[in-house]
Structure formats: C-alpha cells, structure tokens
Structure 1
Amino acid sequence: MKTNIIYNTSSENMPQIDDKSVKLVVTSPPYNINIQYGNKTSKGQIVSSKGAKYKDNLDEDTYRSMLSLVFNECKKKITDDGSIWINIKNRVDDGVIIPPFWIMDFFEDMYLKNIIIWNFDWGGSTNKRFAPRYEYVFWFVKDKKNYTFNLDDIKVPSLNYRPDRYKSQLKNPTDVWRISMVSGNFEERTEHPAQYPEKLIERIILAGTNENDIVLDPFMGSGTTAVVAKKLNRQYLGYETMQEYCEMAQTRLNKVGDNND
C-alpha cells in the first residue's frame, strides 16, 4: 500500500487503502451551508473571486448520503485502537442556529471521547445575535478503552501551578482550545476558502498517533493535515476531488521537504 499521497478523487470509496491500516482520521467535511467561499460581492453580485470553489449546496439527502459513505470507509480503514476527529460548525437556517450534533448519527458504532470547542478570535460579524467565535471537533474512538492518547506530548503550562500540590508545571489541556483562525498574513495561508490552522491539527496528531503512524484526511482541501503529518514524521493519505487543491497541497508539502533537507 502506498502512503504519503493525495488521491484526486472522491473518498466515498477508498480501494487504495488497506483495511485497519490508518491510526487516525482527521478532517473537516464540507459544511453544506450554501456559501460561495472566497467571493467578493457588491450589491448582490460577485465582483471578484479568489481560488477555486467547491460545491457547498447539495440537497440534504445527497449530502448526508455522501458523508455516510465516506465515514463508513474511514471506519473500515482505522486500526482497532484508532480514532476519528471531525471538525464542523453550526448552521444557520432562516436565522435559527442548528448545532451539528447530527454528526454523531454516523458514529453510533464508535465511542465519543470528547467534544472539543475550537475558540478563535476573529470571524464574521452579525448585528442580530452574538458573533460566532467557535467550531466543534468531535473525537470518536473504535475501542473505548484501547486507543492512543499521548497526553505528555500535548500538555500546556499551568497558570495556577503550585509546587506543593503538583509534580509538574504542565497540565492536560481542557476541551476548549483557543487557536487562531488562519488569517491573510499567516505564512501557512493559501487560497483555499476554508482552511483550518496547522496548530489545531498538530495537537490532534500528536495526541492520537506516534511517529510513522498513518493519518488520513478524506477531505484534504489545501493539505493542512498532510503538511502537519509530514512535519511530525507521520505518514499521510488523503482524498480531494478538486485538482487545484491537490496542487496547492503538493506545493505546501514540497516546502516541508525543503525545510527538512
């Protein structure tokens, strides 16, 4: 089986990957919220466009059917001690918030270990409700007792360290992660319209894998998962239907190789 490759095809079927070979799946599927990502509009008309767009307005049945196929494939590919992490956010329908807890319906045969709140410091503005500043990360495991969790690799400084009570100045991170979104001046920024930050994926990969383990992203996008996996000496696999994004990811991966030479 080949590794360290991004396939330019749908992840609804993954014949290139052996069953029970992937330690960790981490991804952010299309949100299906009918937003034209990256387009600048004026008076309701698109006046400029940055980067390729992906279709984000499937009818709900088609969308959920696609996710079901992809996630079922992911479950076949992970090891018995593997895990799946899904980043997704709220939808707004006719002014009403719809939380994404429906995502759990796809993982009734797995165990939910955490719901992470990814909190960030900027984003869209609103004038009829509080501005949204978080997304979810759902963490599912195949075996509720036997799974990889490298706590020592992700500990953070304790703000209230007391040497008389604690052996270390480091502590377990909480389930609220304050990590900035990828802004225009970030070195990692690409033209992908919905790019998540390397720091978010770094913590997940460090916690859920060891060196040389395989990390899979079935919605690879700009390649963040692959880039972080490569930097952390993990192997990566991915799927992405848009050729432009595959090329974008490969450009980023090539830079990682240059940095390691």
Structure 2
Amino acid sequence: MTKKRAPRNRTLIVEDHEADDLLSEAIQLDQPSAVSEILNKIIHQDIENCIELVPENSIDLLVLDPPYNLDKKFGSTKFRSSSADQYSKLFENWIRLLKRCLKDTATIYVCSDWKTSNIIYPILEREFVVRNRITWEREKGRGAKSNWKNCSEDIWFCTVSDDYHFDVDSVKLKKKVIAPYKDSAGVPKDWNESKSGNFRLTFPSNLWSDISIPFWSMPENTDHPTQKPEKLIAKLILASSKEKDLVFDPFLGSGTTAVVAKKLGRHFLGIEREKYYCQLAIKRLRRAENDTAIQGYHDGVFWERNSLALQIKSKLKMDDPVSAKADGDLFAKI
C-alpha cells in the first residue's frame, strides 16, 4: 500500500509510471568489465554475484556501509543478526572480495554501530592500515527506559598503504565563535570577524556532532531504513579523493554515495541488490544533474549544524537582503 504523506513531506519516491525507465539505467555484469564500462553506473546485482567482475586495482575510495549485525529489513530483504563468529566470517568474505579492486593508494571508510565495530575491527586491522575511528552523532530514534539512548555510529578510516590522499583543508568546519579572543593589537586571533557574525574554520576531529539525519522535509530523504546523510558522505569524499577519482559503494542503498560523488565531480560505481533502491538512486542522480546542493555544505565550507540559518537571519537584520536571499534560496533547498 502507498503511504499517505503530509502535504509538505518531501520524501523521494518512485512513481509506477517511471519505475521501468529508471531501472533501465542500471546494469548487470556477466563477464569481466573494463573501468570505462562501469564508470558512473549502478549495478543491480548481489555483491557476491558480480564483484569478481569489477576490474582489479581500479578503486580510489571505498565507502563500505554493509548491514550491521542487527535485525533489519531492506526492501524485500530481511537481514538477521547472528553470532559474532558468523558475522565475522560474513564480513571477512566481503573484505576478501573487495580488496582486489582497490588501488595501492586507496582509502576505505567502513560504517558500523558500536556492537558491530567490535567484530569488524580485528579484520580491518589485519587487512588494512587502520588510521582512526570517527564517531558521529545520529540524533534520531527512540529513547530507552533502562539504558542510554543509542545515537552514535562509527566510521573506520583505513588505507591500503601509507601512500594515500587526505585533504584536511577541504573538510574544515565553520563554527560560530562563542568567546572571541583578540590579541594586544585588537586583531581577532584564529577567527574571522564579519557583519554577519564571528566564525572560525576548525580542523576536523574524529567526533562529529554537526550531522543532520535526513527527515521528511528534506529533499534527499527516502524510505531507506539506514540512509546516510549527504553531508556525512561529502566529508569522506572530499577528504579522501580527488576530482575524477572513482568512488565505490558496494552496498549503495538509495544512492547517497553515488549522488554525492557526482555532485563533487568524482566518478562513482555502486552495487545494489534491491530494485526499488536502484530506482531511487537513479532518480536522485538525475536530480543531481541540475541541483548540486548538499545540506550543511555551502561555498566550499562545512557549516556547524543550523549556523547557516543564523547567518541568513543576521544578514536580514543588517538590511542586506541580496546576500540573505542568495543564502536563503539555497537554505530553502536543503
């Protein structure tokens, strides 16, 4: 049954009349392929049935967001939690299949929850160079009466070797200065003073609290149960890839990694077994042809949560309607 949605609900859906046309853009592999044949494509298959047909040493950045060791329904597929040993063997097999596709200079980001992290870390440590664990605030979901509310997830930052790309300047966070400090000459120290507010570009840490989970009023939102925010993936792509690099997501879901890669001038490749999620991903990719906005990322800078809206209000108060409207038009989209 089709869900009845509120009038202002902007959740993206696939209409019956467009389903076949969208799916026609997905491909299936039945023989080894060259990079040129799979570039900027979505493969509609199970990972185990096609990954060995993806070229060796072809991937610059792997964003791996597999099912966590939890009971979860993904479209028509139900993923069941298992013992730590069983999940470990499953994850180890995924890594074995994927590793041959990576360049020696590749970076790997692996998404996980706190329980699953304990299982996968020993495997990642054995197969790659584990450089950090990012923890990000996933402020969504129900509370718990007999436990702390679970509102964080992990992203393991790994590389194949010590030769890898990392652009820290592209992922600095623009934060509002609460207690601005000036030197003896009255010059702002490590922050910028402007009519619209006082801001500082800060180095990114491994604790992220500036991410908003997609919800019903955001155009990037879909009905995928574990959809990652575009802003989250944008940080990974900007930090660890260059323009025209190939970004690979073998558990693509509703397409966030592919969409963000496209918006940021990277090539992409995705694998997704669920037909409906493939259709959603392709629909989002089509929209990205004309709309490259990423919520929370503006003028080449990541903004602290909700701070862009505050800047717009500040400009309006200063009778600066032109620049406020420019920011406001973007903010309306996101």
Call closer, same or farther: CA 1:109–1:31 in 2, change over 3 Å. Answer: closer
Q: Match for 1:259: what amino acid?
A: D
1:225 is matched with 257
- For residues 171 and 268 of structure 2, the distance between their equivalents in structure 1, rounded to whole angstroms, comes to 20
Q: Match for 1:245: what amino acid?
A: Y
- For residues 44 and 81 of structure 2, the distance between their equivalents in structure 1, rounded to whole angstroms, comes to 20
1:6 is matched with 42
Q: Does 1:18 align with 2:55?
A: yes
State the TM-score, normalized to the length of structure 1. 0.83
Q: Does 1:29 align with 2:47?
A: no
In the TM superposition, what is the alpha-carbon distance from 1:246 to its structure 2 partner?
0.8
Query: Of the two structures, which has the highest relative contact order with CA contacts closer than 8 Å and spacing of 6 or more?
Result: 1
Q: Which of 50, 68, 86 matches 2:92?
A: 68
2:324 is matched with none
Aligned ranges for residues 70-89 of structure 1 at < 5 Å?
70-89=94-113
Stretch deviating more after TM superposition (128-137 or 105-114)? 105-114
1:43 is matched with none
Q: Match for 2:170: what amino acid?
A: D
1:131 is matched with 149
Contact 1:34/1:56 (<8 A) preserved: yes
Q: Which runs of 5+ in 2 are unaligned?
A: 1-34, 184-188, 193-199, 293-334
- For residues 222 and 147 of structure 1, the distance between their equivalents in structure 2, rounded to whole angstroms, comes to 28
Contact 1:119/1:133 (<8 A) preserved: yes
Q: Deviations over 1:214-260 (max 9, x none)?
A: 00001000000000000001011111111111111111111112437
Q: Match for 2:202: what amino acid?
A: K
Contact 2:110/2:155 (<8 A) preserved: yes
Amino-acid identity (%): 30
- For residues 291 and 215 of structure 2, the distance between their equivalents in structure 1, rounded to whole angstroms, comes to 22
In the TM superposition, what is the alpha-carbon distance from 1:25 to its structure 2 partner?
0.5
Question: What secondary structure, in the 3-state scheme, does the structure 2 residue paired with 1:257 have?
Answer: coil
- For residues 87 and 229 of structure 1, the distance between their equivalents in structure 2, rounded to whole angstroms, comes to 17
Q: Match for 2:206: what amino acid?
A: D
In the TM superposition, what is the alpha-carbon distance from 1:35 to its structure 2 partner?
3.5
Q: Does 1:54 align with 2:54?
A: no
Call closer, same or farther: CA 1:163–1:152 in 2, change over 3 Å. Answer: farther
Find runs of 4+ consecutive structure 1 residues off by over 6 angstroms. none
Call closer, same or farther: CA 1:257–1:157 in 2, change over 3 Å. Answer: closer
- For residues 149 and 156 of structure 2, the distance between their equivalents in structure 1, rounded to whole angstroms, comes to 22
Call closer, same or farther: CA 1:163–1:214 in 2, change over 3 Å. Answer: farther
Aligned ranges for residues 166-177 of structure 1 at < 5 Å?
166=190, 169-177=200-208
Contact 1:53/1:193 (<8 A) preserved: no
2:331 is matched with none
Contact 1:195/1:222 (<8 A) preserved: yes
In the TM superposition, what is the alpha-carbon distance from 1:72 to its structure 2 partner?
1.8
Contact 1:32/1:57 (<8 A) preserved: yes
Question: What secondary structure, in the 3-state scheme, does the structure 1 residue paired with 2:110 have?
Answer: strand
Between Structure 1 and Structure 2, which shows a larger proportion of strand residues? 1
CA RMSD of aligned residues (A): 2.2
